[in-house]
């Protein structure tokens, strides 16, 4: 069996995603227990307990989720549709929220209010390879001293242009979200592993100063570990955090089970009538407190670190031993009922 490096995976003739690869431990681990592993990291100039952020979807991150994730040492990006934002912006009280999404058509008044509070701004579009996105990023960075996240891209070919426009971080992945139909509707997108690696090597080869967010396709703590090992500075989660107590929306009882709505940012429920739809709506099982999800992610990630003989995230990102799985090999690893 061939052991693949990041470069090998990047040069693979096929487009790869998380289910196509796994990490391979090749050395005796000196880590006695996962509790020895340190998942703290620095992202956009702030320290976090875990390199995890929530997607600015209206069924994932409202003010309540943003505040709870801050308490848990993660980052919540509040969706731009949340009406509670107005109360926070008009208040003189301190807030735990660190990041908010905006559209390309956001008013200058709103951006000024967000900047005055020191929020990181996420320009929430489906395609960062667009002159309007670059222009908006330049306008914000030229006027305010705040961090700006842009997205999304599927390849590193335009990374330098994003950096030149002032982007501090970029969301990587087009069409990989569980309720995203972009690839089906448009034929656009490549596997998340290939997207991430191509962008990672572009940043490295061109010595660019921008942080990478793996966005989409992540279903488990194991996928998070893979993304970080492949070079992501942080991962963005949607479905994994949807359905929790802190996610926006009411708990619905149906067939003696509890559910919450989950929908893509470009779904029919979010888009205006007559606009093109690139997302779906569904129901997701109610999961309880998001703290339990974050704790499970932390435990799984730390276990991965202990298997790979890595004590901290900087060491974990140096991992260069991967396997490429056949479909049967992947299915063999799934729990059997």
Residues annotated as catalytic are 180
Strands 21-23 and 322-324, bridge-based pairing: antiparallel
Backbone angles phi, psi at 229, to 5 degrees: -65, -30
Q: Which tokens hold the place of 172?
A: 């990587």
Rounded to 5 degrees, φ, ψ at 64 are -60, -45
For residue 299 the two structure tokens come to 């435990």
Residue 39 and residue 331: Cα distance in Å, rounded?
29
User: What is residue 41's three-state secondary structure?
Assistant: strand
Question: What are phi and psi for residue 35, nearest 5 degrees?
Answer: -70, -15
Measure the CA–CA gap between 165 and 143, rounded to whole angstroms. 13
Nearest residue to 212 (alpha-carbon basis) of 160, 255, 172: 172
Token pair, residue 197, equals: 């690696």
- CA torsion angle 213 75 151 192 (round to 10): 40
The residue with tokens 């596997």 is 191
User: Which tokens sit at 297?
Assistant: 């992610």
Burial of residue 221 (CB within 10 Å: 0-12, 13-18, 19+) is buried
């Amino acid at each position: 069996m061939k052991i693949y490096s990041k470069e090998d995976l990047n040069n693979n003739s096929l487009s790869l995603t998380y289910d196509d690869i796994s990490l391979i431990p090749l050395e005796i681990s000196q880590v006695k227990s996962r509790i020895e592993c340190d998942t703290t990291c620095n992202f956009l100039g702030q320290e976090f307990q875990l390199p995890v952020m929530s997607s600015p979807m209206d069924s994932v991150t409202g003010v309540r989720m943003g505040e709870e994730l801050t308490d848990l040492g993660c980052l919540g990006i509040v969706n731009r549709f949340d009406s509670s934002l107005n109360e926070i912006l008009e208040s003189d009280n301190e807030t735990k929220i660190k990041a908010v999404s905006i559209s390309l058509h956001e008013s200058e008044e709103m951006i000024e209010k967000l900047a005055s509070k020191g929020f990181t701004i996420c320009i929430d579009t489906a395609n960062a390879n667009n002159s309007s996105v670059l222009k908006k990023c330049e306008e914000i960075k030229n006027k305010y001293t705040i961090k700006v996240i842009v997205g999304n891209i599927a390849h590193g070919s335009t990374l330098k242009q994003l950096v030149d426009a002032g982007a501090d971080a970029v969301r990587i992945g087009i069409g990989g979200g569980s309720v995203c139909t972009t690839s089906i509707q448009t034929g656009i997108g490549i596997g998340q592993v290939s997207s991430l690696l191509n962008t990672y090597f572009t940043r490295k080869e061109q010595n660019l100063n921008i942080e990478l967010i793996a966005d989409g396709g992540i279903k488990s703590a194991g996928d998070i570990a893979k993304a970080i090992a492949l070079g992501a500075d942080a991962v963005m989660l949607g479905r994994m955090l949807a359905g929790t107590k802190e996610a926006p929306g009411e708990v619905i009882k149906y067939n003696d089970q509890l559910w919450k709505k989950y929908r893509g940012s470009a779904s029919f429920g979010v888009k205006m009538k007559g606009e093109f739809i690139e997302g779906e709506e569904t129901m997701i099982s109610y999961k309880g407190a998001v703290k339990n999800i974050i704790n499970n992610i932390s435990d799984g990630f730390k276990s991965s670190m202990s298997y790979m003989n890595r004590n901290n995230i900087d060491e974990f990102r140096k991992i260069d031993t991967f396997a490429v799985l056949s479909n049967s090999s992947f299915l063999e690893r799934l729990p059997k009922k």
